Structure 1
Amino acid sequence: MAMSNKLKKTIIVSSIGLATLSALGCASSLTQGKYVDGTHLVQAKGKKSQIVLEVKVDQGKIVDIKTKSHKETESLYLNAERLLPRIVANNGHEGIDAVSGATYSSNGILKAVNDLPRASSVQPEYVAVGAKEEQGDDFKLKWSIQPKLGLLVGDYYYEEARFRQGHMGSMTIVTNSQDRNDVILAEFNESGRPNYYTRLYQDVPKRMSEYNFSMGKKKGTAWVQSALTMEKLMVEQDKLTFEPNPNHDPKLANKLKEPNRLKYLGIDVVAGASNSIQQSMIPLTAKIHHKIHGEGTRLKFYQLAEKLVNEKGRWTGITAMLRLVVDPASKQIIKAHFDEIFADEKAQIQDASLKKFYRQSKYDSINYSEPARIGFNVMIDALNAHLQAGGSLFDINDLPATGDSGNYAATGFTKRSSSWDIYLNQAEQLYKKMRLDGVIAEHKHPAAK
Structure 2
Amino acid sequence: MKSSKIFNKTLVSSAVLFATMTLAGCSSTMEQAKYADGTHDVSAKGKKGLITLTVEVKNGHIIDIKTKSHNETESLYLNAERLLSKVVTNNGHEGIDAVSGATYSSNGILKAINSLPRADGSQVEYVAVGAKEESGDDNFKLKWSIQPQLGLLKGDYYYEEARFRQGHMGSVSIVTEINNSDNVIFAEFNESGRPNYYTRLYQDVPKRMSEYNFSMGKKKGTAWVQSALTMEKLMVEQDKLTFDLNPDFDPSLGNKLKEPNRLKYAGIDVVAGASNSIQQSMVPLTAKIHANINGKGTNERFYQHAEKLVDAKGNWTGVTAMLRLVVDTETKQITKAHYDEVFADEKAQIKDASQKKFYRQSKYESINYVEPARIGFNVMIDGLNAHLQQGGSLFLIDDLPATGDTGSYAATGFTKRSNSWDNYLKQAEILYKEMRQDGMIIEHKKQ
1:250 Cα deviation from its structure 2 partner: 3.3
Q: Which moved more, 1:257-266 or 1:366-375?
A: 257-266
Does residue 184 of the first structure (1) align with residue 185 of the second (2)?
yes
Residue pair 1:189, 1:205 contacting (<8 A) in 2 also: yes
Corresponding residue SS for 1:200? helix
**Paired residue type of 2:388:** L
Higher Rg: 1
Corresponding residue for residue 102 of structure 1? none
Corresponding residue for residue 60 of structure 1? none
Aligned counterparts, 1:201-280, within 5 A: 201-280=202-281
Does residue 299 of the first structure (1) align with residue 300 of the second (2)?
yes
Residues 301-359 of structure 1 show CA distances to partners (whole Å, capped at 9, x for unaligned) of: 00001111111111111111000000121010000000000011111111100000000
Residue pair 1:260, 1:268 contacting (<8 A) in 2 also: no
Corresponding residue for residue 406 of structure 2? 405
Aligned counterparts, 1:59-78, within 5 A: none
**Paired residue type of 2:183:** D
Corresponding residue for residue 361 of structure 1? 362
Identity of aligned residues (%): 80
Corresponding residue for residue 374 of structure 1? 375
Residue pair 1:173, 1:183 contacting (<8 A) in 2 also: yes
Measured in 1, the distance between the counterparts of 2:137 and 2:297 equals 51
1:412 Cα deviation from its structure 2 partner: 1.7
Corresponding residue for residue 431 of structure 1? 432
Measured in 2, the distance between the counterparts of 1:168 and 1:178 equals 30
1:284 Cα deviation from its structure 2 partner: 0.4
Aligned counterparts, 1:43-442, within 5 A: 137-442=138-443
Corresponding residue for residue 93 of structure 2? none
Corresponding residue SS for 2:276? helix
Measured in 1, the distance between the counterparts of 2:322 and 2:200 equals 29
1:243 Cα deviation from its structure 2 partner: 0.3
1:249 Cα deviation from its structure 2 partner: 3.6
Measured in 2, the distance between the counterparts of 1:163 and 1:172 equals 17
Residue pair 1:260, 1:267 contacting (<8 A) in 2 also: no
**Paired residue type of 2:276:** N
1:258 Cα deviation from its structure 2 partner: 3.8
1:255 Cα deviation from its structure 2 partner: 2.1
Q: What is the total number of aligned residue pairs between the two structures? A: 312
Gaps of 5+ in 2: 1-135
1:253 Cα deviation from its structure 2 partner: 1.9
**Paired residue type of 1:214:** S
Aligned counterparts, 1:22-41, within 5 A: none
Measured in 1, the distance between the counterparts of 2:332 and 2:186 equals 23
Measured in 1, the distance between the counterparts of 2:217 and 2:332 equals 43
Residue pair 1:261, 1:268 contacting (<8 A) in 2 also: no
Corresponding residue for residue 129 of structure 2? none
Q: Which moved more, 1:218-227 or 1:250-259?
A: 250-259
Corresponding residue SS for 1:189? strand
1:259 Cα deviation from its structure 2 partner: 3.3
Measured in 1, the distance between the counterparts of 2:190 and 2:354 equals 27
Measured in 1, the distance between the counterparts of 2:158 and 2:137 equals 42
**TM-score w.r.t. structure 1 length?**
0.68
Corresponding residue SS for 2:174? strand
Measured in 1, the distance between the counterparts of 2:409 and 2:245 equals 57
| Structure 1 stretches of 4+ moved >6 Å | none
Measured in 1, the distance between the counterparts of 2:295 and 2:140 equals 45
Gaps of 5+ in 1: 1-134
Measured in 2, the distance between the counterparts of 1:167 and 1:145 equals 21
Corresponding residue SS for 2:231? helix
1:222 Cα deviation from its structure 2 partner: 1.0
1:300 Cα deviation from its structure 2 partner: 0.2
* RMSD of aligned Cα (Å): 1.2
Measured in 1, the distance between the counterparts of 2:262 and 2:186 equals 25
